[in-house]
Structure formats: C-alpha cells, structure tokens
Structure 1
Amino acid sequence: MSFLVEENPARRRFEILVDDALAGFTEYVPRGEVLVFTHTQVDERYQNMGVGSALIGGTLDQIRERGGRIVTQCEFMTRFIQRHSEYADLVVAEP
C-alpha cells in the first residue's frame, strides 16, 4: 500500500491517496500565515490501517517544510500531536 499526501488549495484541505484512490482528508481555514484545521475524515474502507496518522504526519511535515504554523480545532489532529510531540512547535494559539 502506498500513501501520498498532497495539498488541495482549491478545496482547502490536504488529501491522502492510497494506491491512487482518495482515502481521506484534513480540512483547514487559512487565517493569514496560519492554517486552522477543523476536520479530518478517513474513508471507512481505510480506517484502522494507519491512513489517518499518515495523513496528519504528512500534512504537518509539509507545513514544517514551508515554515507554516497551525491551529487545531480537529480532535484527531490534536490527539496525534499529543502523541507525537515533535510537531507541538507548529501549534500556535488561536489568532
């Protein structure tokens, strides 16, 4: 199984493709230089397979690469960052 995480700016979300099929996404609202993440969804066919974690990890890696910051209103992303503290520096207070 191959994962690919890509930003889809037109839909304001990062998407994960599994073997070229859309398997999930995490939505955001841009606020200046900060992205406010509001919701993450993984297709039922791909749940409990690590797809959600791969999506969030890939999303946060891309945001780090471009020097971005985030606010998380999404419980799934919040829990992921709590378990993976190496991403905590990306989180800022609500703008």
Structure 2
Amino acid sequence: MSTQIRHEADHHRYVLVVDDREAALADYRTEGDAIVFTHTEVDPSRRQSGLGGNLVKGALDDVRINTGLKVVPECPFVAEWIDVHPEYHELVERG
C-alpha cells in the first residue's frame, strides 16, 4: 500500500492518497497567522485503519516545516489527535 499526503492549496485542503485513490481529506482556511482545520473526512470503507491520523500528522508536519502558522483545530478529530500527541502542542501555541 503506497500512501502520499498532497497539499491542494488552491482547494484549501490536504488529501491522503492511497494507491492512487483519494482516501481522506482535511479542509482548512487561513486567518491571519493561523491555519484553521475545519473538517476531516475518511472514506467510510477505510475507517478504522488509521488513515485519518496519518492525514492529520502529514498535514501538521507540512505546517510545521513550511509555514510559521499557528494551528487552530476547529475540527473535533484534529483537536483530539493533537490532544493525544503532545509533540504537536507547540503548533497550537505558537504565533
């Protein structure tokens, strides 16, 4: 199984591609110095396989490496994922 995280900036979303098919997405909007994650969605047939967490990790890693933006986890899934991964708390607090 090959996976890839794709940032589709024109569509304000991150997409997780598995074997050349979109399996999950995370929508966001930018507000000043913040990226606000508003919604995540995983293909129903692929839930319970950890793809949502892989997507969030990949999106947050991209934010960490390529931007100076603060993360605002408006989406409950993103918020919960960050809560249980303290190594990403600094993204919420920076800026």
Determine if the TM-score, normalized by the shorter chain, exceeds 0.5. yes
1:83 matches 2:81: no
Is the 1:33–1:69 Cα contact (8 Å) retained in structure 2?
yes
Structure 2 counterpart of 1:13 = 13
Matches within 5 A, 1:39-58: 39-58=39-58
Q: Secondary structure at the match of 1:91?
A: helix
What stretches of structure 1 move > 3 A for 4+ residues in a row?
none
Q: Secondary structure at the match of 2:49?
A: coil
1:92, distance to aligned residue in structure 2 (A): 4.0
1:27 matches 2:27: yes
1:33, distance to aligned residue in structure 2 (A): 2.6
Deviations 1:3-56 (A, max 9, x none): 111111111111100111000101101112311111000011211111001000
Deviations 1:61-83 (A, max 9, x none): 11100233211110000110111
- Over the aligned positions, Cα root-mean-square deviation in angstroms equals 1.4
1:64 matches 2:64: yes
The residue type paired with residue 83 of structure 1 is: V
Mark the runs of 5 or more structure 1 residues left unpaired by the alignment: none
